[in-house]
Structure 1
Amino acid sequence: MQEPLITSPVPGQTLTVAPVAGSLRISGQPEIPSSKYYTLRYVLAATLADGESVIYYPAQSDDSEALFRGCRALGAQLAWDDAERRVLRIKGIGGRPPVQGPVTIEVGNAGAVLRLLLGLGALLPQVTFETDHPLSLGKRPNRELLEALASLGVAYEATGPEGCVPLTLHGGNLRGGHIRISGARSSQYLSALLFLCPLLTEPVEIEVVDMLKSQPLARATLEVLQEAGIVIEHDAALRHFKIQPNQRYQPREYVIPGDYPSAAALLAAASVATDPASELRLTRLRPGEEIGEALLSAFRAMGADLVRDGEQITLRGGRPLHGIELDGDVVIDCIPVLVAAACFAEGRSVFFNIESLHYKESDRIDDLCAELQRAGCDVEPRQDAIIVNGRPEGIEGGVTVDGHNDHRLLMALAIVGMRSRHGLTITGGEHIVKSYPHFFAVLRALGANLY
């Protein structure tokens, strides 16, 4: 493989996606990152356990580093077994942080890390969360979670009416009781409470009001908690939860699977390739994961030539795609790259039930559509949807587009640039390190013309 592209964050980095001579072939078998979702949840479970846990293949990214900083601040001991950082040992805190004085945690641009650590931060007498991304994470709302924590006895000071960082919690002496939490903006609020409440000395009941967004991630939280020995009663609709007090997280060995949202970006790139000899093979993608199965179904519905064999997925490109209508909530983090692929499909695509994308690292509806329109795509943003009129012949390009400090937008714009007649220049490329530092280098090794 050639030297990596943009694997260290240097502000102001740009990326050029140039046309290729002849047809575009995307082929290879790259190693994909480990799951960000499961890394976050397993590391937190290990941090809360009484004893040492071992985690194999944790994700490596800026978000992971923010997570590790937070867990160390809670009092956990983290150590790598190997130079490649494939095996992580965590000596947990036994559900009770040993920290007595004020703590400050820098969470970078990691929204999910922030929300889940907010729950566990309630165990501390005082903890302040800060970010060096005030225009991104600094604008993301936490009000509903902070109000729920206040009902357990936590006092807080936050920025603005929506509870943005920087913010400070004053916790430590928590009570149980009945909590109402909104699920309309994020399932992360619920997940934060599910990690925290088993450690309290009084029982807790949680009632989810409104619709719960991103339910597969809430189910992933419940799966990890069960593996860690935590018992939570709940209904099938994930609206009502009963949690008994004084539970103990058990030390375990955890193996992190591959990351489906990262795989989605590579699958989208291969699906828009024009050379029928294109063939992408991806491994370590565990069957049965709700997000993964929904993602593969979406690609198949678009006409992609895709086959699963156990944990391996093979996609052959150079096939015509066609428009789809997709409820995007289940695959919410994959929507930008699916939209990018739909830009080259025959006909109209509608991605709906995606309003929560307005509240991510960027506005992944309005910002994404603005940049795609600038590149020459026919897309229309709605409050809860993105409508795409595909252009199988390709797009014009020849302009500069902005990644809006968002790794998911950068992936989508790079894919679109591959099918532009005059290429694209993408600003803010350094933000790819948030989840997939080597993405651009992998895309180039697969056949894209990036520099």
Structure 2
Amino acid sequence: MKRRIEPTNQIDASLTLPGSKYLANRLVVIAALAENDVRLSNVVDNDDINAAIDGLSRLKYHLERSGDSVMSQPRSHALNRPTEVFTAHSGTFSRFVTAVAALESHLVRVVGSEKMNSRPMAELFDALEQLGVAIDSPNGQLPANITGPVTNYHCKVDGSKSSQYISALLLMAPRLNHEFVLELVGEEVSTQYIDMTVDLMRQFGIRVNKEGRQYRIEKQSSYQGKSLIIPPDPVSSSYFMAAAAINGGRIALETFDFDSLQGEAQFCKVLEAMGCLIERKGESLSVSRLGSLIAVDYDMGEMPDVVQTMAAVACFAEGTTIMRNIAHLAYKESDRIVDTATELQKLGANVEFGSDYLAVTGGAQLSGTDVDTYDDHRMAMSLALVGSRIPNVIINDANVVSKSFPNYFDKLAEIGIDSTIL
């Protein structure tokens, strides 16, 4: 499906957004493994979360969605036969369910989409093999056959490509009925996502101790039951902040998660440095721009999922905006360094890049054309922001947004950015 984005005038709108998929990805795993009932509210309805609910259900965990709620009950029967789990495009769920599958005595085959099957998994497989789990995989990628259970309880993991390996091992550890030690090697990336995992585990009754380069989880009962309302997603929020920055005017985001551990929740500070006015009013965050945007030089290591959003904003700033410390973006749904540069260059943007940075110089004469998404939801959403200012930007395969934000274009329309399906 193609969409042509219609340029807008100055924005003046308020918006409420669905719950964070980053929290939901972790919470559905915790809910499945819990020894009591769990109720999650404001759960985003997207491909990733639905794949997680379906995949965990195939492993005989009891999860049920009703509207924006997900309810779980303790699993009554262990897996009694080999089972296949399809993870679609979700890198997060692919890593998490691989670790959960290691708890089983029967073979679990984990299969992703063609794109997901090309993404790295070797570091997680290596850690699980240290734990006594048998892994049968081509080239350290999916599809993979996982045969547990875990028989050793101390492993090392390299988190330099993805923090999801670390989160996956931590999430499954409380079900081991044994003390578990996870030792980090290499320079881990996106550490705020590990902190998010640990924080959620603690909210559900698990003691996680960090000692230098080791995580230690004592032998203890599993996750406890709880009801929890998931706050809005900071990355989803970034697109609407950026829309106000690009077009001028104001956007008010209701019930913004000011307590989020996620690095992307600080994106508003990047926009502030670029010349936007940021105001907190109760639980609402307001972003407005009246003057010009100014280029910045920023370390994006702790907010990787808004790099493409920032690149779109940088096209309209005075000077060269440099986004640094982003090497791990090469291993996301697309190569988010090379592919983002390629598509912005199609539009006429002045872009340079290297293995660890992306630099966009604003002020170039942009013109609309067809742009590709590389099966990457964030590519589609970010490029649409350029189209909110430049006529005739057409997003190829725009429906890829269903991975994380199915009603993204409807929400854009709510703030005055319309689009046409071609």
Q: Same fold (TM over 0.5)?
A: yes
Residue 319 of structure 1 and its aligned partner are, at CA, apart by 3.0
CA deviation string 1:169-207 (max 9, x = no partner): 0112x1233311111111100001101222224322211
Structure 2 counterpart of 1:241, from 215, 228, 240: 215
Residue 401 of structure 1 and its aligned partner are, at CA, apart by 0.9
**Structure 1 counterpart of 2:69:** 87
Residue 402 of structure 1 pairs with residue 378 of structure 2: no
Structure 1 counterpart of 2:121, from 124, 132, 142: 142
Query: Which deviates the most, 312-321 or 119-128?
Result: 312-321
CA deviation string 1:102-152 (max 9, x = no partner): 111111101101111111110122111112x30x21211000000000011
Residue 89 of structure 1 and its aligned partner are, at CA, apart by 1.3
**Structure 2 counterpart of 1:272:** 246
1:83-162 paired onto structure 2 within 5 Å: 85-93=67-75, 98-124=78-104, 125-131=106-112, 133-134=113-114, 136-160=115-139
Amino acid in the other structure paired with 2:2: T
Amino acid in the other structure paired with 2:127: A
Give the percent of matched residue pairs that are identical in Structure 1 and Structure 2: 29
Residue 42 of structure 1 pairs with residue 27 of structure 2: yes
Residue 293 of structure 1 and its aligned partner are, at CA, apart by 4.3
Structure 1 counterpart of 2:153, from 168, 177, 180: 177
Residues 404 and 318 of structure 1: CA distance in aligned 2, closer, same or farther (over 3 Å): farther
Residue 56 of structure 1 pairs with residue 32 of structure 2: no
Please list every run of 5 or more consecutive structure 2 residues that lacks an aligned counterpart in the other structure. none
**Structure 1 counterpart of 2:393:** 424
Question: Is this contact kept in 1: 2:178–2:218, CA < 8 A?
Answer: yes
**Structure 1 counterpart of 2:56:** 71
Partners of 2:258 and 2:328 lie apart in 1 by: 26
**Structure 2 counterpart of 1:282:** 253
- Give TM-score scaled by structure 2 length: 0.95
Residue 318 of structure 1 and its aligned partner are, at CA, apart by 4.1
Residue 14 of structure 1 pairs with residue 20 of structure 2: no
Partners of 2:207 and 2:280 lie apart in 1 by: 34
Question: Is this contact kept in 1: 2:33–2:175, CA < 8 A?
Answer: no
Partners of 2:107 and 2:60 lie apart in 1 by: 14
Residue 31 of structure 1 and its aligned partner are, at CA, apart by 2.3
The SS at the match of 1:357 is helix
Residue 397 of structure 1 and its aligned partner are, at CA, apart by 1.8
Question: Is this contact kept in 1: 2:234–2:265, CA < 8 A?
Answer: no
Partners of 1:334 and 1:33 lie apart in 2 by: 17
**Structure 2 counterpart of 1:4:** none
Question: Is this contact kept in 1: 2:6–2:388, CA < 8 A?
Answer: yes
CA deviation string 1:213-254 (max 9, x = no partner): 01111000000110111112103x6x2111223531111111
Please list every run of 5 or more consecutive structure 1 residues that lacks an aligned counterpart in the other structure. 1-12
Residue 87 of structure 1 and its aligned partner are, at CA, apart by 2.4
Partners of 2:210 and 2:351 lie apart in 1 by: 40
The SS at the match of 1:262 is helix
The SS at the match of 1:409 is helix
Residues 240 and 47 of structure 1: CA distance in aligned 2, closer, same or farther (over 3 Å): same
**Structure 1 counterpart of 2:307:** 335
The SS at the match of 1:88 is strand
Amino acid in the other structure paired with 2:99: G
The SS at the match of 1:216 is helix
Partners of 1:27 and 1:382 lie apart in 2 by: 37
Residue 320 of structure 1 and its aligned partner are, at CA, apart by 1.3
Structure 2 counterpart of 1:219, from 175, 179, 195: 195
Structure 2 counterpart of 1:361, from 329, 333, 336: 333
Amino acid in the other structure paired with 2:232: G
The CA RMSD over aligned residues, in Å, is: 1.6
1:370-409 paired onto structure 2 within 5 Å: 370-391=342-363, 395-409=365-379
Amino acid in the other structure paired with 1:88: V
Question: Is this contact kept in 2: 1:362–1:404, CA < 8 A?
Answer: yes
Partners of 1:93 and 1:319 lie apart in 2 by: 57
Residue 308 of structure 1 and its aligned partner are, at CA, apart by 1.7
Amino acid in the other structure paired with 2:37: E
Partners of 1:419 and 1:352 lie apart in 2 by: 26
**Structure 2 counterpart of 1:7:** none
Amino acid in the other structure paired with 2:31: A
- Give TM-score scaled by structure 1 length: 0.89
Amino acid in the other structure paired with 2:5: V
Partners of 1:368 and 1:42 lie apart in 2 by: 31
CA deviation string 1:6-54 (max 9, x = no partner): xxxxxxx11112345xxx2223222212101111112111111112111
Question: Is this contact kept in 2: 1:286–1:310, CA < 8 A?
Answer: no
Partners of 2:85 and 2:265 lie apart in 1 by: 35
Amino acid in the other structure paired with 2:202: Q
Residue 211 of structure 1 and its aligned partner are, at CA, apart by 1.1
The SS at the match of 2:142 is strand
Amino acid in the other structure paired with 2:141: C
Partners of 1:18 and 1:249 lie apart in 2 by: 48
Residue 376 of structure 1 and its aligned partner are, at CA, apart by 1.0
Question: Is this contact kept in 2: 1:32–1:262, CA < 8 A?
Answer: yes
Structure 1 counterpart of 2:181, from 205, 212, 236: 205
Question: Is this contact kept in 2: 1:306–1:314, CA < 8 A?
Answer: yes
Residue 307 of structure 1 pairs with residue 279 of structure 2: yes
Query: Which deviates the most, 423-432 or 317-326?
Result: 317-326
CA deviation string 1:270-313 (max 9, x = no partner): 11004xxx221111222122325422211111111121223211
